[in-house]
Structure 1
């Protein structure tokens, strides 16, 4: 599996609009959703503000692969639960998106439990 380039991480990390779509069993892409993403520690991370029960989150997690589009980057990706407890994604979200209600939602306990790591396939 090849990793992200520094340029891709920067472009995705600064994109305000990030789209992800799961790969269906027939190989086609499913419905894409708009998410808030951050780049940290050589990977891209996304969260569901509605927690792990959100249908798009469950579908993408179960598919294990999909596609991301952000900041002019378009890549097929592998999706896995983020499990590094030492990684401070809240700071990355704060730096990328500023403060206010959206930040509180994306850094809240429900969203933290619904964090996915996205890497190129």
Structure 2
């Protein structure tokens, strides 16, 4: 597991949104998708509102690699499925950061969304 440097971790975590592009089998990047990003401890996470059936999520599952951009940081990453033990911290982070969007934030707190929780690690 690779760790984020403190400055990049802080910048990405503070960003309102993140652009994520997963890598295709031929090495090219898919078009980026804009989403919410949260920090729990020293790690960054994203979730698919549509759960594991979400198109962008499925794209991350072929090579588990891609690129993110947020808060002035552009970083190649690997996508790791979060363990269920990480879900509570990620839920709390979504509620804290995006709680003002009450009707929307609940969509990333469902069981299908939790099942799509990805930990972003720099590479």
Q: Do they superpose with TM above 0.5?
A: yes
Q: TM-score, normalised by structure 2?
A: 0.90
Q: Is the 8 A contact 1:13 1:96 kept in 2?
A: no
* Corresponding position of 1:80: 80
Q: Distance in 2 between matches of 1:2 and 1:53?
A: 27
Report the TM-score when normalising by structure 1: 0.91
Counterpart of 2:90 in structure 1 is 89
**How many matched pairs?**
121
Gaps of 5+ in 1: none
**Match for residue 114 of structure 2?**
112
- In structure 2, the gaps of 5 or more residues are none
Q: Does 1:67 align with 2:67?
A: yes
4+ aligned runs moved over 4 Å, structure 1: none
Three-state SS of the structure 2 residue aligned to 1:63 is coil
Identify the structure with the greater helix proportion: 2
Give the 3-state SS of the residue equivalent to 1:119 in structure 2: strand
Query: What do the CA deviations read for 1:70-117 (whole angstroms, capped 9, x no partner)?
Result: 000100001111115155111111111124111111112221111111
CA distance in 2, matches of 1:78, 1:54: 18
Q: What does 1:19-30 align with in structure 2 at a 5 Å threshold?
A: 19-30=19-30
**1:52 counterpart residue number:** 52
Which shows bigger deviation, 1-10 or 57-66? 1-10
Distance 1:2 1:91 in 2: 23
